[in-house]
Structure 1
Amino acid sequence: MQYEGVLTKMQTELGTPIQYYIVFESSFINVNQLLGKEMEIAFMGYQCLHCSKKKKIYRQGYCYDCFYVIPAAGDWIMRPELSKAHLDIADRDLEYEKKAQLQPHIVYLASASDMKVGVTRKTQVPTRWIDQGASQAIPLVEVPNRYLAGVTEVALKNHFSDKINWKKMLLNEVSPIDLFERRKFVQPLIPEEVAAFYEQTEEKLYNLNYPVLEYPKKITSLNIVTTPVYNGKLTGIKGQYLIFEDGTVFNVRSFEGFGVRISV
């Protein structure tokens, strides 16, 4: 059976294990059902997720021209402390930015390789942690806008990493961490303007279970531009990665806007 379309990040559904879906315009694949089976990924070309033109993808699924003008790719996406919608100041599109920034955000601790601190919209709990391949996550503080989440993250980055070692995550080299204890350690580090929100935030631990039959011993990253046709047996799905029996891993999110044909 063949499926053809433009890649976007896999959609997920919380469960034991988590369910994964590759969604195309006219079809979708429940990727969990492919575990233990051979599948082929063939690169077919580019299509910008914004303008839909067949232009080479620059970043985040967008062509060069779109990436530097659309509000969905503003600097405040990666650096929430740059958010200004709460001040009624536009970056690229104030209406868009108000909808995205002026809503509840969570600053969290997660264990994916080692412990990390991060920011997500409340509506993206637990999707954000699944996309990162976190085995556990705990909210630190819920705040009413993206700016406050950003300044909190900046303060905590002086003490905790905000990066994931994706290789350790895929090899399942995850250090045991007591996130409840770490959360208590964090409280004095919270900026004063956010401290009151800490006490109001529910202390809840999320445990995430991924559909992996076998973790690899070594990994090689698949680039479908340099290897336009790849065939392998799927043995796991974690974060936004497909894991194959030969140690090849494919980061679906890194290839958003790339047209593919998947044969199973």
Structure 2
Amino acid sequence: MQYQGVLKKMVTENLDTVQYYLDMKSDFLNINQLIGKQIEMSFVTYECLNCHLEKQIYRQGFCKSCFFETPNAGDWIMRPELSKAHLGIEDRDLAYEQKVQLQPHIVYLANSSNVKVGVTRKQQVPTRWIDQGAHEAIEIVEVPNRYLAGITEVALKEHVADKTNWRKMLKNDIEDESLVSWQEKLRAFIPDEVQEYFIENNKETTINFPVEKYPEKPKSLNIVKEESYTGKLVGVKGQYLIFDDNTVFNVRANEGLVVKISLV
């Protein structure tokens, strides 16, 4: 069997074990069903996720011109504290920015390689946590817009990490932490204008990933450079495919690449 399409972030479903799906235009693959199988993946070409032209990907699945023009690659995406839609100020497209920024957002703690703080739209819970490979997470505050979530994250990352160690996450090097205790510990550092949105008496969410074997020394696959790779898929965590020879492939970091996937 052979499938071809442009890579996009895997779709996930948080069941007893996370289910992963790869949307490849004409095919919709359940990646969990490929675990334990030998697969070959080959690089074909590029396809920008915005203009859909065959242009080299610059960042986040976009060609260079689209990355600097499309509203869904604005600086406020990565730095929510820069959001200005609540003030009626446009960055690239005010209608789009109001639609995305002026909706409920969650500031959360997630534990993947270590405890970290993050921001996501409420409708992206628990998808965001799954994408980060978090085995547990908890919501701290729920605010009405992205700006308030952003300034909260900025305040809290003075006291807790805001990055994931991807190697440690993939090795499943888990630190036992109480996120409820962390939430209470960080409460005093939440900005005054956000204190009223603190979530009381919350519980942790636990996430189980479909992994048969974790890599001891993860090595990242550059499919453009290698052109083709064959290996036995042994698991999926975060947005990474994990193979039995310690090779890992970050699907999200390779969005916009057209690849061919074959069972061998």
Equivalence for 1:78 = 78
Equivalence for 1:260 = 259
What residue ranges of structure 2 are gaps of 5+ in the alignment?
none
Equivalence for 1:245 = 244
Q: Runs (4+) of structure 1 moved beyond 6 Å?
A: none
Give CA-to-partner distance per residue, 1:215-245, whole Å, 9 cap, x none: 1111110001111100000001000000000
1:194 aligned counterpart, secondary structure:
helix
Whole-Å separation in 1 of the counterparts to 2:16 and 2:214: 17
Give CA-to-partner distance per residue, 1:140-177, whole Å, 9 cap, x none: 00000000000000000100110000000000011110
Q: Please provide the CA RMSD for this pair.
A: 0.8
2:16 aligned counterpart, secondary structure:
coil
Whole-Å separation in 1 of the counterparts to 2:132 and 2:212: 19
Give CA-to-partner distance per residue, 1:99-128, whole Å, 9 cap, x none: 000000000001000100000000000000
Note the 1:1-16 alignment, pairs <5 A.
1-16=1-16
Whole-Å separation in 1 of the counterparts to 2:55 and 2:214: 36
Instruction: Please tell me whether the aligned partners of residues 243 and 250 of structure 1 are also in contact (alpha carbons under 8 angstroms).
Output: yes
Whole-Å separation in 2 of the counterparts to 1:22 and 1:117: 28
Whole-Å separation in 1 of the counterparts to 2:127 and 2:218: 25
Note the 1:37-76 alignment, pairs <5 A.
37-76=37-76
- Identical residues among aligned pairs (%): 60
Give CA-to-partner distance per residue, 1:192-230, whole Å, 9 cap, x none: 00001115x561311000000011111110001111100
So what's the TM-score if we normalise by structure 2?
Answer: 0.98
Equivalence for 1:143 = 143
Instruction: Please tell me whether the aligned partners of residues 7 and 256 of structure 1 are also in contact (alpha carbons under 8 angstroms).
Output: yes
Whole-Å separation in 1 of the counterparts to 2:174 and 2:90: 40
Residue 21 in structure 1 maps to residue 21 in structure 2: yes
Write the letter of the residue equivalent to 2:38.
E
What residue ranges of structure 1 are gaps of 5+ in the alignment?
none
So what's the TM-score if we normalise by structure 1?
Answer: 0.98
Equivalence for 2:229 = 230
Whole-Å separation in 2 of the counterparts to 1:216 and 1:95: 44
Write the letter of the residue equivalent to 1:66.
C
Whole-Å separation in 1 of the counterparts to 2:201 and 2:123: 15
Instruction: Please tell me whether the aligned partners of residues 139 and 202 of structure 1 are also in contact (alpha carbons under 8 angstroms).
Output: no
Instruction: Please tell me whether the aligned partners of residues 102 and 144 of structure 1 are also in contact (alpha carbons under 8 angstroms).
Output: yes
Equivalence for 2:119 = 119
Equivalence for 1:221 = 220
Q: Matched residue pairs, number?
A: 263
Whole-Å separation in 2 of the counterparts to 1:204 and 1:82: 30
Residue 15 of structure 1: how far off its partner (Å): 0.8
